[in-house]
Amino acid sequence: MEPVINQYIEFLENDGKKDTSGLAPILRSVSLFGKRANDSTLELGKNSKVPINSATRITIIKGYMCMLRCQYVEAENYFTQSLNDIPNEHHSQLSLLKCYNQMRGTGIFKKKELELMLHNVQKLELDGSLKQQILAKIYHDLHNIEGNFKSKKSGKKKNGILRLNQWNDYLKLSVETYIQAIIMAPVDDLFIPSLYDQILFLLIVNQINIRVIAFFYQIRYHFAIRADYEYLYIPGVLDDFDPTSVGGEIIYDIKQYLEKGIINGATVLKEDHADYVKYWMKEYRKEHKVTQAIKYYYDKVFMET
Query: How does pLDDT run across 34-70, given as a tens digit for each residue?
Result: 333 343 333 323 343 567 788 888 888 899 889 888 8
182 Cβ neighbours under 8 A, 6+ residues apart: 129, 192, 195, 196
Residue after which a domain boundary falls, among 147, 169, 185: 185
Please determine, for residue 153, whether its predicted confidence score (pLDDT) is greater than 80.
no
pLDDT for the residue 21? 41
Q: What is the mean pLDDT of residues 130-136?
A: 94
Is residue 88 situated within a structural domain?
A: yes
Please determine, for residue 151, whether its predicted confidence score (pLDDT) is greater than 80.
no
Tell me: do 191 and 256 sit in the same domain.
Answer: yes
Model confidence at 180, pLDDT cuts 50, 70, 90, reads very high
Q: Identify the CA nearest to 98 among candidates 86, 235, 141.
A: 86
pLDDT for the residue 252? 79
Tell me: do 197 and 302 sit in the same domain.
Answer: yes
pLDDT for the residue 31? 35
Tell me: do 140 and 237 sit in the same domain.
Answer: no
Is residue 36 situated within a structural domain?
A: no
CA 117 to chain centre: 15
Gap between the Cα atoms of 190 and 303, Å rounded: 31
Full domain range(s) for residue 159: 108-185
Q: What is the mean pLDDT of residues 269-278?
A: 92
Gap between the Cα atoms of 218 and 67, Å rounded: 29
Give the chain's domain count: 3
Gap between the Cα atoms of 117 and 282, Å rounded: 29
Residue after which a domain boundary falls, among 162, 185, 208: 185
Residue after which a domain boundary falls, among 141, 167, 185: 185
Please determine, for residue 22, whether its predicted confidence score (pLDDT) is greater than 50.
no
Please determine, for residue 185, whether its predicted confidence score (pLDDT) is greater than 80.
yes
CB 139 within 8 A of CB 170: yes
Higher pLDDT, 303 or 232: 303
Please determine, for residue 116, whether its predicted confidence score (pLDDT) is greater than 90.
yes
pLDDT for the residue 162? 54
